[in-house]
Amino acid sequence: MNSMAQQMDRFLAEVEKQAYIMANMSVRNADDALDLVQESMMTMVTRYAAKPHDEWRPLFFRILQNKIRDFHRRATTRGKLFSLFTAFRNDDDERVEPDSVYAGRDIDQPDERVMLDGSRDQMLVALAELPERQRQAFIFRSVDGLSVAETAQAMRCTGGSVKTHYSRAVRRLREQLQDHWT
């Protein structure tokens, strides 16, 4: 395997979990989220592998966001409506545990787990309620650790817009979650 292919493999391994969490929160279905991440990775490899390495991260997340947006457009044209009440249920109408969304982020201390179990559910609900652009800005900046410039490139907007969306998301999350994080 050549150096470029190895770099791409490492990069995709780095962003895989973050991309899955982002897609799962956006489409609220684990299988669809996995498909979107895989499609994004294939697009990245087949079309953009030759781009400079420092452009990969924002480019990949822009591809993922476009795939998510396309998914929602297709779902809307088929008459599928997503609601908050089905956000954490699977096809058998069983509750999906938040641990499955946060794979790889185990908390070892039982007292920490008890304290966070309800908070994590509320955080997922609050994130799902955010407008799409605010949710994108929050996830890119807080979860993925992208800079304002990288987030702006991924969202195809200005840095000022990223700051506005992020600020509004943080303010709204603080309001909704104030009982859980004091």
Q: Is the model's pLDDT at 18 over the cut of 80? A: yes
Give the tokens for residue 116. Answer: 């966070």
First and final CA of the chain: distance in angstroms? 51
pLDDT tens track for 72-94 = 877 765 543 333 334 444 444 44
Tokens of 80: 């599928």
116: Cα separation from own chain's centroid: 20
**pTM of structure:** 0.53
pLDDT digits (tens, 9 = 90+) for 35-58: 999 999 999 999 999 999 999 999
